Amino acid sequence: MTVENNASGNSKPGAYKRVLLKLSGEALMGDDAFGINRATINRMVEEIVEVCAMGVELALVIGGGNIFRGVAPGAQGMDRATADYMGMMATIMNSLALQDALKRRGVDARVQSALNIEQVVEPYIRPKALRYLEEGKVVIFAAGTGNPFFTTDTAAALRGAEIGAEVVLKATKVDGIYSADPKKDPNATRYSRITFDEAITKRLEVMDATAFALCRDQKLPIKVFSINKPGALKRVLLGDDEGTLVHV
Ligand SMILES: Nc1ncnc2c1ncn2[C@@H]1O[C@H](COP(=O)(O)OP(=O)(O)OP(=O)(O)O)[C@@H](O)[C@H]1O
Ligand SMILES: O=c1ccn([C@@H]2O[C@H](COP(=O)(O)O)[C@@H](O)[C@H]2O)c(=O)[nH]1
């Protein structure tokens, strides 16, 4: 098994062997005000099933924005680190829900957590995670990096680098990276490619700068695409022109 990253970010159809997929926690709400929408999680699972059928080794990180965010207004006045630990625990809940939904669909998935809650979830052990991936199991990395003041985007970059993923796929609520937040600026235009340095310098907030910097240093490309567009994940894996590629 090679652990070299594809620094160019150019993929041949079906060329990816191992990927790290970051799923938006907030998108899990669907049209609800918070929490996990059953129809939405099932739809995400169907997309994942298709990818597994392509023989891609798949690791997942899921956010927690549908339940709790350390920097959200609801956390104002709280000690930041305490709020962040609550946010990390929210990602464990999402990870368990996702594992359950995958298992119901016949996909063997394992959750590994960066925070130890041994009665509930197994701890993150890198060699074990690598073995699961080689066995064709989906591995869900929960609790982010295990440290406050970070995000699950950074966790995705970190775990992606650790497992030798060829690309980090960020499945989010927008269909790529824009010149400005498209939810605020209707004139924003979408990039099909952008370098890490440009994304950092222009302060494009679709992903945090720590995640961009880590991927840049590890020459690990990122693809940002919409979680709500049917078939987008498969198209990304086939190398189709979908979303935005961030490269060195
Ligand atoms: N330049 C930009 N291009 C695209 N999206 C942007 C940009 N700037 C800000 N955004 C916003 O970033 C959001 C995606 O990042 P965010 O971290 O909020 O979501 P997520 O990672 O998908 O969710 P979660 O943190 O719950 O997992 C988009 O919904 C979009 O409105
Ligand atoms: O490494 C990490 C990852 C996450 N957190 C906290 O969890 C929430 C939810 O994660 P999102 O990436 O925002 O979906 C985040 O806001 C942090 O409060 C963390 O502290 N460390």
Q: Which residue ranges have their beta carbon within 6 Å of ligand 2?
A: 25, 63-65, 69-71, 83-84, 87-88, 90-91, 144-145, 147-148, 150-155
Ligand 1 centre to CA of 174 (Å) is 7
pLDDT digits (tens, 9 = 90+) for 188-206: 999 999 999 999 999 999 9
Ligand 2 centre to CA of 238 (Å) is 30
CB contact at 8 A, 25 and 93 = no
pTM of the model: 0.94
Q: How far apart are CA 117 and CA 130, in angstroms?
A: 21
CB contact at 8 A, 233 and 51 = yes
Ligand 1 atom with minimal separation from the 64 CA = 26
Q: Which residue has the higher pLDDT, 12 or 20?
A: 20
**18-246 CATH, one of 3.40.50.150, 3.40.1160.10, 1.10.3720.10, 3.40.470.10:** 3.40.1160.10
ipTM rounded to 2 decimals? 0.96
Write the CB contacts of 91 (distance below 8 Å, at least 6 apart in sequence). Answer: 25, 61, 62, 63, 64, 142, 143, 144, 152
What backbone torsions phi and psi does residue 124 show, to the nearest 5 degrees?
A: -70, 120
pLDDT digits (tens, 9 = 90+) for 94-130: 999 999 999 999 999 999 999 999 999 999 999 999 9
What is the pLDDT averaged over residues 215-222? Answer: 98
